[in-house]
Amino acid sequence: MTSWIIRSELPSDFHAIAELHALAFAYNFGMGETALVSALRTRKTFDSELSLICIKNDQVIGHILFTPQEVQIEGNKVKNLILAPLSVHPDYQKLGIGSALITEGLHRAQQKGYELSTVLGHPHFYRRFGFRSNAWMDEKVKIPLETIFVTESEPFLRERRVESSDLPKLYDMWETTYGHSSFSILPGHSLLDWISPSNTIRASSILIGEDLAGYIRYSERDPNSITMFIARDREAFVYITYYLKGKLNPLQNTHLLLPISSLSPLLRQLDWVYDVTQKTYAEYMVSVLNGPSRPRLLSYFKDIHKGTRTRGYLIWPTEFDLC
């Protein structure tokens, strides 16, 4: 018989949960998952019943968070949960606490009508709970810097902070750039979904003249580390890539690396030379839960493993810039 209990978090648990993550995730000098949990709690869709803690002798010794995040699979919207983070106190690991938290969390997810859960996790551990590996891929379009040019005089292009009035147009641009992907995380409609909580990541609206032309999210330390890139049309695509080229040191970079699919209609309109890299990992995992879409979702993930369908590319919400 276990000597712990699992329940939903309460505001009075916040400090203990934060300290637990600081103890369990000691891989860098920052707050990491501690800050991530705090940021995810501010989401409009946050559900405290899907933030579970394990308690033993009045001490929080485990925590798991499932964050609602709608995805799109082959044009169909699917109720999805991102599983992150999961942590167990170092003194209580390998006792089944993590397993108990996952089992209870997935049970609650199904009761609430969620049909999918995604996680970036250890395959040998998560497979026992029904998670499948290699569920999506990383895809980069590598454009040689010398091929990026503009045929006309360069227009006045600038970055500025994303504004609420930008969001409808940015969402439409996202559809143009990423909407064709077989599996994607749908961006939200809140300003918080488009600006980054990390002080090392810049998330900017791009203006050509005074017109909104695109959006980029990238590392200020390494401008070639781009998380998201969207453009209004082919002309804006050319000008924004040319602008990004100007940020790179040609002694350190030979290509601009764009996180977009080779199937993007923006690319098909170009005559530039480029290469494409596609990689998937066992840690890229999903669990298909019981629900009306289960047969269709199982068929999709079975087909991508057989190679008869193309994997999608996931862009994680801005809160995950903290990790």
Residues 267-297 have pLDDT tens digits of 877 888 899 999 999 999 999 999 999 999 9
Distance CA(64)–CA(261), nearest Å, equals 32
What are the residue boundaries of the structural domains of the chain, listed by start? 5-137+280-322, 138-278
Q: What is the reported pLDDT for 11?
A: 97
Q: Which pair of tokens denotes residue 260?
A: 């977009």
Distance CA(185)–CA(189), nearest Å, equals 13
Residues 151-207 have pLDDT tens digits of 777 778 999 999 999 999 999 999 989 999 999 999 999 999 999 999 999 999 999
Q: How confident is the model at residue 2 (pLDDT cuts 50, 70, 90)?
A: low
Distance CA(22)–CA(6), nearest Å, equals 20
Element (H, E) at 285: strand 284-288
Distance CA(243)–CA(199), nearest Å, equals 22
226 against 262, higher pLDDT: 226
Residue 82 backbone zone (phi > 0: left; psi -120 to 50: alpha; other: beta): beta
pTM, two decimals, is 0.94
Distance CA(323)–CA(321), nearest Å, equals 5
Topology alike, domains 5-137+280-322 and 138-278: yes
Calculate the alpha carbon distances from 145 to 158, 165, 246, 256 in Å.
20, 33, 9, 6
Supply the CATH classification number for the domain 5-137+280-322.
3.40.630.30
Q: Which pair of tokens denotes residue 206?
A: 């791009």
Percent of the chain with pLDDT over 90: 89
Q: Closest Cα partner for 115 from 307, 296, 316?
A: 296
Full DSSP string of 172-185:
HHHHHHHTT-SEEE
Q: What is the reported pLDDT for 1?
A: 47
Mean of all residue pLDDT scores within the chain: 95
Whether the per-residue pLDDT at 102 is higher than 80: the answer is yes
Which superfamily, per CATH, for 138-278?
Answer: Gcn5-related N-acetyltransferase (GNAT) (3.40.630.30)
Residue type, 135: A
